[in-house]
A and B are shown apart, each in its own frame.
Chain A
Amino acid sequence: MKRNTLTLLAAGVIAASSWIPVAQAEDSMYMPSMTYRTGPFAGGGTPFADGYADYFNMLNERDGGINGVKIVVDECETAYNTQKGVECYESTKGNGALAYSPLSTGITLALIPKAPVDQIPVFSMGYGLSAAAAGEQFPWAFVYPASYWSQLSSILKYIDSNGGIEGKKIGFIYLDVGYGKEPIPLLDQLSESMGFSVAKFPVGVKEMQNQGSQWLNVRKERPDWMIMWGWGAMNPTAIKEAAKIRFPLDRFIGNWWAGSHSDLKAVGESGKGYLAANFSGIGQDFGAVQDILKYVVNEGKSKVGSPDDVGNVLYNRGMFNAVVLAEAIKVAQDTTGKTIIDGADMRDGLEAINLDQARLTELGLEGFTGDVQGSCSDHEGNGSIFIQQWSGSDWEKISDLIPPMTDVVRPMLEEAAESYVSDKPDWKGQACS
């Protein structure tokens, strides 16, 4: 008897896809986790995913979930690959997913248009599309606690407050993909208004570990400061190269994805002095982190390699991602009165978030980050950053919180949002009063 391939295949695939766990049980909510524990950026993806999962699990263990509803964290491996990420999204969105945090600009860009259709918000915490900060145009996307543009403006403010920026030359070394190129329009604009000059040094993804030429060019250009938008293996290589050409590392500032423990571990002592922006607290001296250690890590319920990794920059950032989501769930529960919420409620919750210092203290995160307060139109929460410095063995916070230049950044964000929406006739924004 002859069968045809396609039907066989179809049967097999339907069977396979139905294996994917459907976790919408009575008393739990489903929280997908897009991770990349493989591929060239696994070094950053792994601690982030650990922190993310451990916080939700801690809430489950300590409090029995959020308002008594447990959170099921389901990991899907994207390998930092957009196709796989979209496939993860499509395969899990039907499970009652509350929000997606893709941890990749490419995947975020692919999900932003899908979010309003599927009614599931996208929370790209400090990455993705800067323009998504404009809530009027992007009701379903959030970039708390700050967009890339806000971050860059804070970094420039830091430089300005350390010897002035006018008349200086700023070198900008970046990963030559969408992520790295994002801040360039703002940099160009601010160079005029603040009176500094810019030299750009793109690093191709394939050349991440082969930056000799870029740093030769840096030596040729002799900038006063260097700013880096890097990720993965690009970071340690850049810091090593900077040290090699004797660039003063205390004038070399990475963005918040270029300042993790895994980046600097490979550099060690020779990276001493290197600066980086950050918005999530460092170390284990927070109540919430201690609870994670107590309820999850020490109970052997974490995937984290060693307990020492808890509290690392990216671990804590992954945890903070979960904190914001958990807080949004709680806000949504409180406002709707439901215990089990859906994606639309989650969106409202995210928009109404108010993580001020009092609330952070309640959560066991005193001084962990600046106030994050969302609104209908503000989807970046006006978050602040601080600057940290590598001591040769660990990160140390060396500055106070630096708020962004909202007055300059906001109009640009809105303009970018407009242009994004312009060729999408059916795009639905929202009116904010």
Chain B
Amino acid sequence: MLYREAGQFKTSYAADQAMLPILQDRIGILVILLVAFVGIPVFATDFFMGSIMIPFLVFALAAVGLNILTGYAGQLSLGTGAFMGVGAYSCYKITTLFPDTNIIIAILLSGVFSAIIGVIFGLPSLRIKGLYLAITTLAAQFFLEWCFIRIGWLYNYNDSGAIEVPQRKIFDIAVTGASATPMVRYLVIVSIVAVLSLVAANVLRGRIGRSWMMIRDMDIAAELMGIRPLYAKLSAFAFSSYYCGVAGALMVFMWLGSAEVEAFDINHSFLVLFMVIIGGMGSILGCFLGAAFIWVLPIVMRGLPSLMGLDILAATTEHITNIVIGVLIIFFLIVEPHGLARLWQIGKEKLRSWPFPYASS
């Protein structure tokens, strides 16, 4: 009843082209932002912020990155983990080479490096497509992983071979390092993710975003409409890798605190891919839904047996979680390739036309 667009007439193209043309959606976003920036910091526990919200936001950002490349530009990538690694190692180098750099700037800057690496590994996409390209991203994954191990300079020749996050402060408040509270880290990360998501939504709605979708849907036609595949594909690689890189830097600096190369391995790439598939390819909202789903599901699964009074091995629930995610991936691919985001859309449509289910929009 409350979700109605009746009476909301658009009198200009500007209004019609707004990101959220329906008033109720704008109110919804406002509520979400209020919850994210005020509600959660005030009411949520450290565990909720530190172990659920922070990883969720990191993965959501990485999923946005992968979704730009795979969902919008149609280039399947299995190298997300490595691109996140480039971001993390760059950020580590920036913060240790120039200790006075503001940490937020260092994080945002680190994405630039992964964007550059992304472009380099995106070059083959000009000659090869589809599954072949997926394999070249696999080459990126393994080659970069090897670099993270073999190039000692990247981790300052630490004996442990791991990158350790140094402590950095902004206005005398610890933002990184062990003494940074989950609330501070959460607020930093949620701000970055909110801004970058807005940027992504803007770019995707405009000329550049459209050129990616053109390449995705019909690359030949796109070229015949004047899109230069070189620019379109490489800009998608760069933009996507930037997001993955920032997500990787945030992952290490705001969440884990230290990382070995395994934090960026192929399984990590798959994890982000699962989020995109289940969340919905070609949807920013889907990235958030998918990330929440994939990150939270195992936590819920772990809680379930004891809730039901069953004594099941921790490992067993792990296996079952794997199976459930696998089944869901296939289920979504068969039933709704646009994932949770599409289900959400359908739900909204139903709500719009309720109680007249056959009044089509």
Contacts and interface: CB of A to CB of B under 8 A. Distances in A.
Interface of A: 1-2, 4-7, 9-10, 12-14, 16-17, 19-21, 35-38, 42, 75-77, 79, 81-84, 86-87, 90-91, 94, 105-106, 109-110, 113-114, 116-117, 129-131, 176-178, 181-182, 184-185, 202, 204-206, 303, 416, 420, 423-427
A67 B166 CA distance: 41
Contact of A182 (B160, B179, B258, B348): B160
Nearest to B266: A206
B197 interface: no
Q: Which of B35, B177, B289, B317 is packed against the most chain A CB atoms within 10 Å?
A: B177
22 contacts: A1-B1, A5-B32, A5-B288, A5-B289, A9-B296, A12-B300, A19-B303, A19-B306, A37-B318, A77-B317, A91-B51, A109-B160, A113-B177, A113-B257, A114-B178, A176-B149, A185-B159, A205-B265, A423-B99, A424-B167, A425-B167, A426-B179
A114 B174 CA distance: 14
A94 to B, nearest CB: 6
Interface in B170-228: 174, 177-179
B286 to A, nearest CB: 11
A422 B162 CA distance: 16
Given A106-B259, A426-B174, 9 more contacts: A2-B3, A5-B289, A10-B40, A16-B303, A82-B263, A86-B51, A94-B46, A206-B142, A420-B164
A13 B298 CA distance: 11
Contact of A110 (B99, B257, B296): B257
Interface stretch (B112-120, B127-135, B240-248, B307-315): B307-315
Q: Which of B174, B178, B267 is packed against the most chain A CB atoms within 10 Å?
A: B178
A3 B298 CA distance: 24
Interface of B: 1-3, 24, 28, 31-32, 35-36, 40, 44-48, 50-52, 55, 96, 99, 142, 146, 149, 159-162, 164-167, 174, 177-179, 255-263, 265, 267, 288-289, 292, 296, 298-300, 302-304, 306-307, 313-315, 317-319, 344, 348, 351
B51 A117 contact: no
B304 A19 contact: yes
B299 A83 contact: no
Contact of A14 (B48, B177, B314, B318): B48
Q: Which of B2, B159, B166, B265 is packed against the most chain A CB atoms within 10 Å?
A: B159
Contact of B50 (A9, A10, A90): A90
Nearest to A113: B178
Given A9-B296, A16-B303, A105-B260, A178 B314 contact: no
A204 B141 CA distance: 14
Contacts of B265: 205
B178 A178 contact: no
Nearest to A92: B47
Contacts of B28: 2, 4
A58 B164 CA distance: 39
A202 B145 CA distance: 14
B256 A110 contact: yes
A6 B161 CA distance: 38
A127 to B, nearest CB: 11
B179 A117 contact: yes
Given A7-B35, A14-B48, A177-B261, A86 B313 contact: no
A228 B1 CA distance: 69
